[in-house]
């Protein structure tokens, strides 16, 4: 074994092993299942920190459950990624050949996309393998492969025939760069500094005008009314009158609607029903005309020829200019408001009227709310429950059609006549082209041009991965569904999580998962979101290269408190890398010492105090670690592992074990080795979910011909040797060691100098005295003490340095390495410090209410403390006097 842990070779070896030996493949059986489906990354994806975190956490859970003996299954897959993917290929096409998708046409463009997909391959899946993910690689699913397509069609047809899917002309979010409608969840809002323009709308009487404040002066041509609040006394007389739109002089009415906020702007609003959601509602309530002035290319239409065909931004400039020239502009204020942008290309979203497919989600939402309200689905952390419910309760129908090419084409067929024109017959939803029209028996059909929102297929993911679309009597689906836990970031709670619940209940009559574990988002060290444009991205692949995959995973696990965002920079991985090295070397110590031992007893026998102590600490820690894993507090599990292994196991137990390891008595050596091995192996198991590579390697060295760690079953921790009192006793010894070490350091006693030590107890406590005598070899070993003797008569003591650790007083003779004056100062300082404490505690105890109301144990504890401190001061004073 190398002296320094070198991860590369070991990681490659185990990656390959797990895949080739199908370590993580699962079949339905009689054993209890534990199922997780991966949030499928986009095919365009390249592993970033978010993926690394999300998948590490899933892997931790899967590996832990596997150790517990569950039949675990983690299903891998990728998403076709709709708009995002089409954009990537479109950009490539433009760059390489200077062509647009329209130059190629739908068929050829889609062919290009498929080619690109094969070329690019499943890069991200390979990266997940590299990360060590225990996915079942025989089950890789793609949201657009045959089985998943079947599922999408089946779902669509069911919903269509139920009357839940309908076509309607409505105001929708439109990205003119992507050329498609978007759902509300696909819009990202950003604050933008803009202006508020105050415009004059003249009454028919040309001397009077009202002032209207607007952020969108270019849409005046689409105005079909002005509106005021009915309770706004300033404008009562105005309601019902006509005003003229600036520039074009078109007459519109002033109406009243209670939604208008009196305090904003002038309290008068221009109503543009075709391009604003609120205005649209007002128009519906007041039966106003709806006039479209922006088309799907983001250009002006139905406006004076001067502005016709201009894109919105330019039109705004021109209109403002003209308004100003013609004296319609009263003033311009600065105004910051949030603007909706496309989540895939950041183009400003226009609202416009368009015919789209919608899914009525009212009933599904109710059931999805109920499932979480009743805690049938449990959220970790609970704080996400409320936003989830609120969102679902206010959900409008879902716009599911997209005007792009890459995706599941809507399986709706229209009957056409011999000229290819659509007839009035009812459209049919079906898997393939229908044989004949229900209404006119025609055999001519065309398919709907639109594709489905990517998230439609994603919403089916937990059932489609088990081939819900293909098979009717599906054993696997029955066995693995509902899945056990969904692990995800909160950014797709609405986009994805909620919709899976809706669809799961709709199609399976059963929730898709029992638990939802929502982790935070990774930020840089300044708390900023990581993004390429900010240049603050920490690449997980680099980290894996530089620090090792286990170090990456351990860092992520340690930072992953449920629901909390985490800040990460390159230095965050250092501590973890060092910890890996620690594990490696501690194991090396054990392994090297096992070399000439032919056989080790499996049964352990705690003999000494340190044995009993480490077993007690180990028992406590393992319980904590297991509980932490169980409730997705993976950060706590990682912390406990770190603390126990490094501090307790390495720094104390391994160090103390050296006394017996170097013993010439083979039995003594074997006895301590057995405990070292037992704890090491158990810890390796418990660590393996987070850091599978290093633990697999060490496990294999320790258990040459046995099962690999990933396939092992967690050792049962026996309570037989648990000794609570050993912890207290050991703590006493540790305290003495630490105090002597501190003294050595403070007084610059060279480490090579072995010192003589005497000790006494403050209250002549025989038991403690016995404990120390029994374990003085620990003190000798770790504090570099030559001899340690009990001192009966302290009265005669002269010129000793003294320290007090709990109830024990330790004396070290002054042997020229320290001046009396220096020691006096040290002791006086100690007295002053203790006195401060004494004051505080005395005050507490003199408080009558404390004595009256505090629990007895607490009072007792405080009294003992005070007593000890007083004793301490007494002794220090005495020692001070003995210094001559």
Partner RNA sequence: AGGCAGUUAGCUCAGCUGGAAGAGCAUUUCUCUUACAAAGAAAAGGUCGCAGGUUCAAAUCCUGCACUGCCUACCA
Among 589, 721, 722, 817, binds RNA (CB under 7 A): 589
Span interacting with RNA, options 354-362, 385-393, 418-426, 872-880, rule CB under 7 A: 385-393
Distances (CA, A) of 754 to 265, 786, 846: 84, 5, 46
| Residues 711-750 within binding reach of RNA (CB under 7 A) | 737-738, 741-742, 744-746, 748, 750
* Contact assessment for residue 520 and residue 564, using Cβ atoms and an 8 Å cutoff: yes
Nearer to RNA, 605 or 742 (CB): 742
Residue 228 sits at φ, ψ, to 5 deg, of -130, 165
Among 111, 114, 383, 789, binds RNA (CB under 7 A): 383
Shortest distance (Å) from residue 469 CB to RNA: 30
- Give Cβ neighbours of residue 760 (< 8 Å, ≥ 6 apart): 790, 791, 794, 808, 809, 811
- Applying CB under 7 A, does 828 fall inside the site for RNA? no
Nearer to RNA, 798 or 852 (CB): 852
Shortest distance (Å) from residue 161 CB to RNA: 30
Separation CA 175–CA 344 (nearest Å): 10
How many residues sit in the footprint of RNA (CB under 7 A)?
A: 95
| Residues 155-214 within binding reach of RNA (CB under 7 A) | 184-185, 189, 196, 213-214
Separation CA 177–CA 851 (nearest Å): 75
Nearer to RNA, 269 or 788 (CB): 269
| Residues 523-542 within binding reach of RNA (CB under 7 A) | 525-527, 529
Around 572, how many Cα atoms within 13 Å sit in the side-chain half-sphere?
23
**Chain CA centroid to CA 219, Å:** 42
Shortest distance (Å) from residue 850 CB to RNA: 4
Among 150, 470, 490, 670, binds RNA (CB under 7 A): 490
Site string for RNA, 320-359 (x = CB under 7 A): ----------------xxx---------------------
Separation CA 859–CA 849 (nearest Å): 11
* Contact assessment for residue 407 and residue 452, using Cβ atoms and an 8 Å cutoff: yes
Among 43, 412, 552, 586, binds RNA (CB under 7 A): 586
Among 92, 248, 440, 574, binds RNA (CB under 7 A): 574
Nearer to RNA, 274 or 412 (CB): 274
Separation CA 611–CA 607 (nearest Å): 6
| Residues 542-571 within binding reach of RNA (CB under 7 A) | 559, 561, 563-567, 571
Report the b/e string of 647-665 with b at 16+ CB within 10 A. Answer: ebbbebbbebbebbbeeee
| Residues 267-296 within binding reach of RNA (CB under 7 A) | 267-270, 276-278
Shortest distance (Å) from residue 614 CB to RNA: 13
The three-state (H, E, C) secondary structure of 68-125, written as one string: CCCEEEEECEEECCHHHHHHHHHHHHHHHHCCCHHHHCHHHHHHHHHHHHHHHCCHHH
Which residues, in sequence order, are bridge partners of residue 801?
812
Nearer to RNA, 574 or 825 (CB): 574
Q: Which residue has the tokens 């003999």?
A: 607
How large is the angle between the packed helices 540-547 and 49-67, nearest 10 degrees?
60
Separation CA 507–CA 481 (nearest Å): 12
Among 239, 389, 446, 575, binds RNA (CB under 7 A): 575
| Residues 211-250 within binding reach of RNA (CB under 7 A) | 213-216
Nearer to RNA, 497 or 566 (CB): 566
Shortest distance (Å) from residue 608 CB to RNA: 17
Cβ-based burial of 699 (10 A; exposed 0-12, middle 13-18, buried ≥19): buried
* Contact assessment for residue 303 and residue 281, using Cβ atoms and an 8 Å cutoff: no
Residue 22: Cβ within 10 Å count: 11
Nearer to RNA, 176 or 642 (CB): 642
Among 106, 376, 861, 863, binds RNA (CB under 7 A): 861
Shortest distance (Å) from residue 639 CB to RNA: 6
Nearer to RNA, 135 or 641 (CB): 641
Span interacting with RNA, options 243-251, 668-676, 759-767, 854-862, rule CB under 7 A: 854-862
| Residues 408-427 within binding reach of RNA (CB under 7 A) | none
What DSSP string runs through 607-657?
Answer: -SHHHHHHHHHHHHHHHHHHHHHHTT-HHHHHHHHHIIIIIIIIIIIIHHH
Nearer to RNA, 113 or 516 (CB): 516
Among 577, 660, 681, 872, binds RNA (CB under 7 A): 577
Nearer to RNA, 72 or 587 (CB): 587
Nearer to RNA, 386 or 426 (CB): 386
- Give Cβ neighbours of residue 179 (< 8 Å, ≥ 6 apart): 296, 403, 404
Separation CA 482–CA 36 (nearest Å): 9
Among 334, 533, 849, 884, binds RNA (CB under 7 A): 849
Which residues, in sequence order, are bridge partners of residue 483?
513
Nearer to RNA, 429 or 675 (CB): 675
Shortest distance (Å) from residue 423 CB to RNA: 37
- Applying CB under 7 A, does 518 fall inside the site for RNA? no
Site string for RNA, 778-817 (x = CB under 7 A): ----------------------------------------
- Applying CB under 7 A, does 4 fall inside the site for RNA? yes
- Give Cβ neighbours of residue 776 (< 8 Å, ≥ 6 apart): 785, 788
Site string for RNA, 620-639 (x = CB under 7 A): ---------------xx--x
Shortest distance (Å) from residue 243 CB to RNA: 15
Nearest to 758 by CA among 817, 812, 818: 812
Shortest distance (Å) from residue 659 CB to RNA: 10
Shortest distance (Å) from residue 796 CB to RNA: 30
Shortest distance (Å) from residue 184 CB to RNA: 5
Q: What is the dihedral of CA 454, 455, 457, 460, to 10 degrees?
A: 170
Separation CA 283–CA 171 (nearest Å): 12
Span interacting with RNA, options 19-27, 63-71, 461-469, 575-583, rule CB under 7 A: 575-583
Separation CA 391–CA 369 (nearest Å): 9
Span interacting with RNA, options 57-65, 139-147, 522-530, 678-686, rule CB under 7 A: 522-530
- Applying CB under 7 A, does 259 fall inside the site for RNA? yes
Among 13, 129, 241, 262, binds RNA (CB under 7 A): 262
């Amino acid at each position: 074994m190398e002296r320094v842990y070198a991860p590369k070779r070991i990681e490659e070896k185990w990656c390959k092993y797990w895949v080739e030996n199908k370590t993580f493949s699962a079949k339905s059986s009689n054993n209890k299942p534990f199922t997780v489906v991966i949030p499928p990354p986009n095919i365009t994806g390249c592993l970033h920190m978010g993926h690394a975190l999300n998948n590490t956490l899933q892997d931790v859970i899967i590996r832990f459950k596997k150790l517990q003996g569950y039949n675990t299954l983690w299903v891998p897959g990728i998403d076709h990624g709709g708009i995002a993917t089409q954009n990537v290929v479109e950009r490539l096409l433009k760059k390489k050949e200077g062509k647009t998708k329209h130059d190629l046409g739908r068929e050829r463009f889609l062919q290009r996309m498929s080619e690109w997909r094969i070329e690019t391959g499943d890069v991200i899946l390979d990266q997940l393998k590299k990360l060590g993910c225990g996915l079942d690689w025989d089950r890789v699913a793609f949201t657009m492969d045959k089985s998943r397509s079947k599922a999408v069609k089946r779902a669509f047809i069911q919903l269509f025939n139920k009357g839940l899917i309908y076509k309607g002309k409505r105001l929708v979010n439109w990205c003119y760069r992507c050329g498609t409608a978007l759902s509300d969840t696909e819009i990202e809002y950003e604050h933008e500094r803009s202006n508020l323009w105050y415009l004059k709308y003249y009454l028919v009487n040309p001397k009077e005008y009202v002032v209207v404040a607007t952020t969108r002066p270019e849409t005046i041509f689409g105005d079909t009314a002005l509106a005021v609040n009915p309770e706004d006394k300033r404008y009562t007389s105005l309601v019902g009158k006509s005003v003229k739109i600036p520039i074009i002089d078109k007459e519109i009415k002033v109406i009243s609607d209670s939604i208008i906020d009196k305090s904003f702007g002038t309290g008068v609003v221009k109503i543009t029903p075709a391009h604003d959601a609120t205005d649209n509602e007002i128009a519906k309530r007041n039966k106003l005309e709806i006039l479209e002035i922006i088309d799907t290319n983001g250009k002006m239409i139905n406006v004076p020829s001067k502005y016709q065909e201009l894109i919105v931004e330019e039109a705004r400039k021109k209109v403002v200019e003209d308004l100003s020239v013609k004296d319609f502009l009263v003033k311009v204020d600065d105004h910051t408001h949030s603007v909706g942008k496309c989540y895939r290309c950041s183009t400003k979203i226009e609202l416009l009227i368009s015919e789209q497919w919608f899914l009525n989600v009212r009933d599904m939402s109710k059931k999805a709310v109920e499932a979480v309200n009743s805690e049938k689905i449990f959220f970790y952390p609970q704080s996400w429950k409320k936003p989830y419910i609120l969102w679902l309760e206010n959900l409008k129908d879902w716009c599911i059609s997209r005007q792009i090419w890459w995706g599941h084409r809507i399986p709706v067929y229209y009957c056409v006549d011999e000229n290819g024109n659509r007839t009035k017959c009812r459209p049919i939803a079906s898997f393939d082209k229908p044989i004949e029209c229900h209404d006119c028996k025609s055999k001519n059909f065309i398919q709907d041009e639109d594709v489905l929102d990517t998230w439609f297929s994603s919403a089916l993911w937990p059932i489609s991965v088990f081939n819900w679309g293909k098979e009717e009597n599906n054993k696997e689906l029955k066995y693995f569904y509902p899945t056990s836990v969904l692990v995800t970031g909160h950014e797709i709670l609405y986009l994805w999580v909620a919709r899976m619940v809706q669809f799961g209940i709709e199609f399976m009559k059963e929730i898709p998962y029992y638990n939802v574990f929502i982790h935070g988002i990774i930020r840089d060290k300044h708390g900023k979101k990581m993004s390429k444009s900010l240049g603050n991205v920490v690449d997980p692949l680099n980290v894996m290269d530089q620090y090792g995959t286990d170090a990456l995973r351990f860092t992520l696990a340690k930072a992953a408190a449920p629901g909390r965002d985490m800040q990460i920079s390159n230095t965050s991985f250092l501590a973890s890398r060092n910890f890996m090295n620690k594990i490696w070397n501690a194991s090396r110590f054990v392994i090297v010492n096992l070399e000439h031992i032919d056989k080790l007893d499996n049964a352990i026998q705690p003999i000494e105090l340190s044995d009993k102590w480490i077993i007690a600490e180990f028992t406590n820690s393992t319980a904590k670690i297991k509980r932490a894993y169980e409730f997705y507090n993976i950060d706590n599990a990682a912390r406990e592992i770190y603390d126990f292994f490094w501090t307790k196991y390495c720094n104390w137990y391994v160090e103390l074990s050296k006394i017996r390891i170097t013993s010439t008595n083979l039995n003594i050596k074997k006895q301590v080795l057995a405990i070292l091995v037992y704890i090491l192996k158990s810890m390796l198991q418990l660590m393996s979910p987070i850091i599978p590579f290093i633990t697999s390697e060490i496990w294999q060295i320790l258990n040459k011909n046995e099962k690999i760690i990933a396939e092992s079953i967690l050792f049962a921790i026996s309570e037989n040797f648990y000794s609570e009192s050993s912890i207290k006793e050991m703590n006493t010894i540790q305290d003495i060691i630490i105090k002597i070490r501190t003294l050595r350091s403070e007084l610059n006693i060279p480490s090579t100098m072995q010192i003589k030590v005497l000790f006494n107890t403050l209250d002549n406590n025989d038991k403690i005295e016995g404990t120390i005598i029994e374990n003085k070899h620990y003190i000798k070993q770790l504090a570099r003490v030559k001899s340690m003797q009990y001192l009966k008569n302290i009265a005669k003591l002269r010129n000793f340095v003294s320290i007090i650790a709990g109830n024990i007083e330790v004396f070290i003779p002054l042997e020229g390495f320290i001046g009396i004056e220096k020691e006096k100062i040290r002791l006086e300082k100690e007295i002053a410090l203790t006195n401060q404490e004494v004051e505080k505690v005395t005050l507490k105890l003199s408080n009558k209410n404390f004595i009256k109301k505090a629990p007895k144990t607490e009072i007792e504890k405080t009294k003992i403390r005070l007593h000890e401190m007083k004793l301490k001061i007494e002794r220090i004073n005495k020692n001070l006097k003995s210094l001559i």
